[in-house]
Structure 1
């Protein structure tokens, strides 16, 4: 049931009819993947888009990255690796063309979006290692890309936000690359949310508790919420969050991930990692995509741009 203390934001009520309550399963994700060919690339005026194939993780296939190049970008600019959402089971970079193009154009940075492998066919660690391969390639080819390897940010939405958080932890421990910022939009961080009986009115729209069970089961290749999980698979389970890049965490109060997002931000702050928590009252999962023309959505996106601008000093 909807939480009466957090009703749907007035500007989002008309979009609720599009916020279907669907339980994901193998048949449905297969259908969605087939229909994804209908996604039309959304170009941003002045931004050129190019698909580039890069070496994948050792023993794995090459990885496609989608590169967004703004007009007249200054050599040695900052860059962003973007990771799309989709519950670890669906999605592709093209769905992020609008936001990636906006980041590139407004900030004058290069953006690369990674087409990582999807579960359940490719469970952890394949998606995360694909993301690491993309970030490593950006770092190693900084001269060719005309970007500054010391000014790399990572970000993503939903499962992409979860992968970005895990990537921040992985890069910290591998000590080869040091991203300077992580932009986490309603990130999918904690498989233990699947074990909660009371979701306090969250998860009614778009990404539901049932879908969450399916997504985590597919990604972990085991039942979620158990006593243990593979290291780096579940960012919220990592005990030591010290030394991670500064973060921005954005979430709506009706999002299924609301509590795990707030708790992760609190834990970052508690260990001295600068973290801005942006809570949107009455907003559900991916609200700014379904209601892109609403003022609350435009403001939410503008705050993401501002957060990146401050972090990257552009």
Structure 2
């Protein structure tokens, strides 16, 4: 009988394993429902003031409509020397649908602002279990619709918008792209899906390989999806917008960037999503980073595989957004 201790799994990259040993002192591999309040109270991100210090970037907060008339906070980031008419990125944060806020992953956000003179919006969507499906994805879709209408005021081209997110934010970004396609919503030029959370069923080989190890293991995935979907999880009553891996037709979507670590739960569902996009005639760039754990790009620092991943992100954005700010 194969058990979690004997199941064969890809090894962590040596540099990533060293990082993981440090992370493991403060972040357990399995997040259980009773841990959600504690995780929400813990400082998971670098303070915004620290991230922006010395950088020519402004931050302001706006109020956007959410699902069923709710009001959502959206953080807007622009360069202090912003030139109107450039691209925009709509950012959806990660956190397994249950933790995190609009500043989770903000380091990447400010890089897009600086590098491309992009206007970036990061939305404070409502979290499960207090706000289960369809609230989070519908919040994001409503806020994106609002953001696109602000192009003239905020100084961006409403026809050059990318949706972007990591982990749960990647899954929500994929869901928002599907909603845009099916409802005739904003015409996105790209979807950036970093280690996206796509499949509520949690039954792939990789979902069984990582139990009690790494970051966001199989048990954490159960916690997140149970909070998000409740009793509907795993049944036929789950929409493609909540769990995009359920979609059988991925045609008509904007070009996708998908990357994931080889040593994480989401590996197989992310590879399958890219494969389905190709099968349906679409465009997807897929990277499976050897030895990467979940979210390694944000935690790996100077490790070679983390640096390579970040460079791949920039290369894709360079192509999708057309040029780097300040270049001819």
Q: TM-score range by the shorter chain?
A: over 0.9
| RMSD between aligned residues | 2.0
* Counterpart selection for 2:190 from 181, 201, 225: 181
2:176 alignment counterpart: 167
Contact between 1:166 and 1:233, CA under 8 Å: does it hold in 2? Answer: yes
2:215 alignment counterpart: 206
Moved more, 106-115 or 244-253: 106-115
2:13 alignment counterpart: 9
How far, CA to CA, are the matches of 2:307 and 2:265 in structure 1?
A: 21
1:40 alignment counterpart: 47
How far, CA to CA, are the matches of 2:206 and 2:173 in structure 1?
A: 27
Taking structure 1 as the reference length, what is the TM-score of the superposition? 0.93
Question: Is residue 24 from structure 1 mapped to residue 38 from structure 2 by the alignment?
Answer: no
How far, CA to CA, are the matches of 2:80 and 2:14 in structure 1?
A: 37
How far, CA to CA, are the matches of 1:47 and 1:59 in structure 2?
A: 31
2:121 alignment counterpart: 112
How far 1:21 moved relative to its partner?
3.7
Count residues in correspondence.
312
How far 1:72 moved relative to its partner?
2.1
1:64 alignment counterpart: 73
Question: Is residue 216 from structure 1 mapped to residue 225 from structure 2 by the alignment?
Answer: yes
How far, CA to CA, are the matches of 1:268 and 1:309 in structure 2?
A: 22
Tell me which stretches of 4 or more aligned residues in structure 1 moved more than 4 Å.
1-5
Q: 5 Å matches for 1:1-314?
A: 1=5, 6-17=10-21, 18-19=23-24, 20-36=27-43, 39-41=46-48, 42-43=51-52, 45-60=55-70, 62-193=71-202, 195=203, 199=207, 201-202=209-210, 204-222=213-231, 224-314=233-323
2:326 alignment counterpart: none
How far 1:199 moved relative to its partner?
3.8
How far 1:3 moved relative to its partner?
6.8
Contiguous gaps of at least 5 residues in structure 2: 324-328
How far, CA to CA, are the matches of 2:44 and 2:13 in structure 1?
A: 32
Contiguous gaps of at least 5 residues in structure 1: none
Contact between 1:202 and 1:258, CA under 8 Å: does it hold in 2? Answer: no
